[in-house]
Amino acid sequence: MSKISIFHLVFFLGVLVGCGGKVNPGDVSKEKPKLFPDYVDVTIPSTIAPLNFKAQGDYSAIDAVFEGKAGKSIRVQDSKEICIPASDWSELLEATKGDSLKVTVSVKQHDRWKQYASFRIHVSETPIDYGLVYRLIAPGYEVYSKMGIYQRNLSTFDQSPVVENTLIPGSCVNCHSFKLTDPKNMNFHVRGKKGGTILITDGKMNALMTKTDKTMSNFVYPFWHPSGNYLAYSVNNTHQVFHEEKGKRVEVGDVASDVVVYDVKKNEALGTKLLMQDSIFETFPSFSPDGKSLYFCRAAHKKMPDKYNEVRYNLCRIAFNPENGSFGDKIDTLFNATAINKSVTFPRPSPDGKYIMFTLVDYGNFSIWHKEADLYLLDLKTGQTRCIDEVNSDNTESYHSWSSNSRWFVFSSRRIDGLYTRPFIAYLDENGKARKPFLLPQANTDYYDQLLYSFNIPEFVSGKVEVDPNQVDQLLDSGIKKVTFKQ
């Protein structure tokens, strides 16, 4: 007992001597610190969870002072990482809304404190939604073992599962989507022996068998109509091939694909010849916020996989009448990517109707494994398209989704290690200029280092998602409804 006490005392004193006490920097650097995650000069919402971080390089102690408005400040010191007390952080952000925090980081190296140049964290007044929903999946490309769809409260570090495939053994859960960010209107697919599309409308769950005689596959990529009465889906005949070159890994492409609209009330898939052409690949549908246009990607058919790198998608639009579920009779091209030898994926209109954000790659539609994939913004008023350099990196930026007020967007990026996608959140100001994005904060700064799953399809939600896995199981067992097709 006495040994333990002495050990603890020595350890405690060691901690005090090693990393406690006043910082008297012997060295003041003009450089800003290199942090992980990189929170230097980022813009954050006032309700975000504490931005815990560590500095790069070796040190025996780290010290950070966060100074906000009205003389409020927080100081944190540790031997390894800066973990900010949640309640102090929350108060500081609330007090600093619309302004910025001044952050001063010092590290102790060889018994000498070194202070870096201060940086700013801008605290936006614009609110962000309640949380994110994403799929965590090992980047194993084609088969699945353990995976799930999870939700994360953005104000805390709480992550909880929406559904995990361990509950439906041998299955895969994918393609979750929401009516805007409404947690009571949700869609996801369950693939495997017990498969189906789970559709939750105003909290009521249904399971659908979506393969019809006239469509080539089950429903794949979804997008909700703002009214909640329709969902647009692609139907795809997909194949997967592997690269031999070390810089590339895998290609997924469609041998054929079409777009249909599902009428929720009639349990009917609506098609039009214009979106189901054999000579054309149509995919990634999304509705405009007024519900009168259907955006989608469209490419000339090529023999696959031989000509996989010649498939290039343009961003197109067709009129849609939500009154009767009918389509327009012409297709407009909004962004002619083929003209610049590029290809568009994931067009996502902002809920305020001002922009469409999409991913641009050299070819194909599987942007997630394209290192060159970057985010682009199409201004629907001016018709101008620009690369969002403020948020792109030299690695993949792919899936993205808007907050309900169109001022924040979340996107997945492989910039950290080139292998695992991580969720970054960025602010878009009133002029359409994005601010430096920040990585979704975690309680532990080693979290991303140790996580062997990718964040897939991050989507904002305005509240907690409630899915009863028992009901999913029961519906897939005995309550599945077959979708019909109408052209």
**Which stretches of the chain bind other proteins, using CB under 8 A?**
138-146, 148, 161, 164, 166-167, 169, 239-246, 248-251, 305, 308, 416-420, 444, 446-447, 449-450, 452, 468-470
> 250 to each of 55, 140, 244, 246, 247, how far by Cα in Å?
34, 10, 9, 11, 10
Nearer to other proteins, 161 or 432 (CB): 161
Nearer to other proteins, 12 or 242 (CB): 242
Q: Which of 145, 215, 214, 206 is nearest to 173 (CA)?
A: 145
Nearest approach in angstroms of CB 198 to other proteins is 16
CA atoms within 13 A on the CB side of 130: 13
With b meaning 16 or more CB within 10 Å and e meaning fewer, what string describes 233-260? bbbbebeeeeeeeeeeeebbbbebbbbb
DSSP-based three-state secondary structure for 159: strand
CA atoms within 13 A on the CB side of 287: 28
Residue recorded with tokens 């209107």 = 185
Residues 6+ apart with CB under 8 A from 78: 19, 61, 62
Nearest approach in angstroms of CB 176 to other proteins is 16
> 202 to each of 179, 182, 268, 426, 445, how far by Cα in Å?
10, 9, 19, 29, 38
Nearer to other proteins, 18 or 140 (CB): 140
User: What is the Cα–Cα distance from 23 to 123, expressed in whole angstroms?
Assistant: 26
Nearest approach in angstroms of CB 263 to other proteins is 32
Nearest approach in angstroms of CB 265 to other proteins is 31
Q: Which two tokens stand for residue 190?
A: 């369950």
Nearer to other proteins, 167 or 209 (CB): 167
Nearer to other proteins, 74 or 163 (CB): 163
DSSP-based three-state secondary structure for 127: coil
Nearer to other proteins, 78 or 268 (CB): 78
Nearer to other proteins, 365 or 403 (CB): 365
Nearest approach in angstroms of CB 166 to other proteins is 6
Nearer to other proteins, 403 or 413 (CB): 413
Nearest approach in angstroms of CB 58 to other proteins is 12
Nearer to other proteins, 4 or 143 (CB): 143
> Where does residue 438 rank: exposed (0-12), middle (13-18), buried (19+ CB within 10 A)?
buried
Nearer to other proteins, 149 or 276 (CB): 149
User: What is the Cα–Cα distance from 299 to 309, expressed in whole angstroms?
Assistant: 12
Torsion angle, alpha carbons of 404, 156, 89, 19, to 10: -140
Nearest approach in angstroms of CB 135 to other proteins is 14
Nearer to other proteins, 86 or 167 (CB): 167
Nearest approach in angstroms of CB 485 to other proteins is 29
Q: Which two tokens stand for residue 172?
A: 């895969």
Terminal CA-to-CA distance of the chain, rounded, Å?
Answer: 81
User: What is the Cα–Cα distance from 240 to 132, expressed in whole angstroms?
Assistant: 29
Nearest approach in angstroms of CB 309 to other proteins is 9
User: What is the Cα–Cα distance from 407 to 393, expressed in whole angstroms?
Assistant: 21
Q: Which two tokens stand for residue 383?
A: 């018709």
Q: Which two tokens stand for residue 353?
A: 């109707």
User: What is the Cα–Cα distance from 181 to 201, expressed in whole angstroms?
Assistant: 13
Nearest approach in angstroms of CB 246 to other proteins is 4
In this structure, the strands spanning 182-191 and 172-179 are antiparallel
Nearest approach in angstroms of CB 435 to other proteins is 25
